[in-house]
Amino acid sequence: MTLDVPDYVKAAKAQDPKIRYKWDDWNEEQALEPVDKDLLARLKALSQRAAIAFTAATGEWVVYRFEELTDVTVPLQFLEMAWANIVDFNYVAMTWQDYEDAPEWVGPVKRPVAIAMEKVDNAFQAVIGDGRPELRGAWITNLAQYVLTDPAPYVKWRERAMVRLESLYPCDPNDRLGDVVPREALDPDFNFDVEDTERLINEFLARLDHRSNPFLNSPESMLEQGYTGLRYRFDIEADRRLRREAI
C-alpha cells in the first residue's frame, strides 16, 4: 500500500494550487525559526516515540498541502516507513538521505516537502544521537505553518494531538523511548484506546508491502542483518521487555 493521508488532514482542505509565501533554498531558516520554546518544552516532556509520531503526522500535513503541485508518492512511501520505524528501527531499508533523488527536491514546492521528510528522518537519528527528537518536531511545525495557506486547522489539530500525547505518552526518565504510538493516536476524531495498541499496530503492519516501498526492509534482509525479533508482527510485551533489558 501507499500511505493514505488522514481524513482529518483532507477535511482541513490544506491543498492550494498556488504558492503564497516567499521561498529561498539558501535561506530555509525563514521557514524553521524561531523555535516555539513552549511547544519545544511540551514535546520534550513526551516519550521519544511520541515526539517522532508528532513529527511524522505533521509531515503528512506538509505533503498533502502540495499534492496538487507535485507527485508525492515517494514522500508518502517514506512516511509509511517512518510509522513502521516507530514500531521497530529495523524496518528501515533506506532513509531520506539514502534516497538517490533527494538532492533534486528543490524549489518552493519540492524543497519544503524534502525538508519535512528530513526532519522526520532526523528525529529517528536524534534518538540514537543527541536524544532530542523534539527539536525536529518544533522545526517541522514551523514549516507546516509557513507553507499552509491557512495554518489555523493545523494549529487546532496540533493542540488536540498534543493534549492526547501528553496524557498517554509522558516521558519516563527511565524509559525515554516509551511505548509504540499508533498512527490513530494522532487522529483527534478517532476514539483511541491505548489498550488497542497491539491490534492497531499489527493491522498496520499487515497492510505493508516492502516490495512496493523501497524504504521498507524485507523480512529476509532483516534476518540476514541478524534481527531475531518478530518481522512485520508486533508484541507489545516483548517490546516493553526489550526496553527494560536495555536500561
The arithmetic mean of pLDDT across residues 167-186, rounded, is 97
Of the pLDDT bands very low, low, confident and very high (cuts 50, 70, 90), residue 228 is confident
Phi, psi of 132 (to 5 degrees): -125, 65
Could you give the CA distance from residue 38 to residue 76 in angstroms, rounded to a whole number?
Answer: 29
Q: Output the pLDDT for position 131.
A: 80
DSSP state of 69: T
Cβ(92)–Cβ(81) below 8 Å: yes
Q: Which tens digit of pLDDT belongs to each residue from 140-163?
A: 999 999 999 999 999 999 999 999
For the chain, what percent of residues have pLDDT higher than 70?
99
pLDDT of residue 229: 83
Average pLDDT across the chain, whole number: 95
Average pLDDT over residues 236-243: 94
In a domain, 166, yes or no: yes
Asked whether residue 21 is assigned to any structural domain, the reply reads no
Asked whether residue 26 is domain-assigned, the answer is no
* Model pLDDT, residue 247: 67
**Residue 2 pLDDT exceeds 80:** no
Instruction: Give the chain's domain count.
Output: 1
Amino acid in position 43: L
Domain membership of residue 72 (yes or no) is yes
Q: Answer for the pair 3, 53: CB distance below 8 angstroms, yes or no.
A: no
In a domain, 20, yes or no: no
Contact yes or no for 133/55 (Cβ under 8 A): yes
Say if residue 180's pLDDT is above 90.
yes
For residue 148, give the C-alpha cell. Answer: 499552509
Residue at 96 is within a domain: yes
Which is nearest to 10 in space by CA: 189, 164, 135, 137?
A: 189
- pTM of the complete model: 0.96
Q: Say yes or no to pLDDT of 1 above 70.
A: no
Give the domain extent around 219: 7-13+31-246
At residue 144, the pLDDT reads 98
Cα–Cα dist 78/99, whole Å:
10
Give the separation between CA 196 and CA 212, rounded to whole angstroms.
Answer: 28
* The predicted structure's pLDDT at residue 33: 97
Whether 19 is covered by a domain: the verdict is no
- pLDDT (average), residues 92-102: 94
Nearest to 36 by CA among 58, 53, 17, 15: 58
* Structure confidence by residue, pLDDT tens digits, 32-89: 999 999 999 999 999 999 999 999 999 999 999 999 999 999 999 999 999 999 999 9
According to the model, what pLDDT value does residue 128 have? Answer: 84
52 found inside a domain: yes
